[in-house]
Amino acid sequence: MKVGRRETFNSAHRLYKEGWSDAKNLEVFGKCSNPNYHGHNYVMETWVEGPVNPDTGYVIDLKILKQIIRTEVTDKFDHRNLNLDIPEFEGINPTAENIAKVAWELMSKKIPAHLKLTIRLWETENNIVEYSGN
């Protein structure tokens, strides 16, 4: 059984590789390499898969999942510059892939080990990434 929760956060970022010229970064990352940053309204789905607990009828209490999402990810990332404000992105390009990976790593520590965690991150209405730990 899978249960999920949708949360949103707004963050600024810049995609670039240090050591590359602005021209090379523009070639690879396009407008996303704008040196003055740009923002996205991220939509993050957090999915938890596992057995239904016969005592509670839950896979995981969604109130608890909500708290984990907010404490570990959305309260930290919301209205922040991912490159500059979030230590987890030091030296890591904050692509949707890497944001999903960092969010998964922050939350997986708090999710009971018998449950499988999946993060699905919408960077735009059309671009989605999904990460389940590999």
Residues acting as catalytic residues: 32, 79, 123
For CA atoms 110, 92, 126, 70, the dihedral sign is positive
Closer residue to Ni ion, CB minimum distance, 46 or 83: 83
As measured in angstroms, the least distance from the Cβ of 13 to Ni ion is 6
With CB under 5 A as the contact rule, which of the stretches 26-34, 65-73, 77-85, 99-107 interacts with Ni ion? Answer: 26-34
Is residue 32 involved in binding Ni ion (CB under 5 A)?
yes
| Nearest by Cα to 76 from 129, 12, 9 | 9
- Per CB under 5 A, 96 contacts Ni ion: no
Question: Which part of the chain contacts Ni ion (CB under 5 A), choosing from 4-12, 30-38, 47-55, 57-65?
Answer: 30-38
Burial of 108 (0-12, 13-18, 19+ CB in 10 A): middle
- Please, are residues 73 and 5 in contact by the beta-carbon 8 Å criterion? no
Say if CB 70 and CB 7 are below 8 A apart: yes
Q: How far is the CB of 111 from Ni ion (least distance, A)?
A: 28
- Applying CB under 5 A, the residues found at the interface with Ni ion are 32
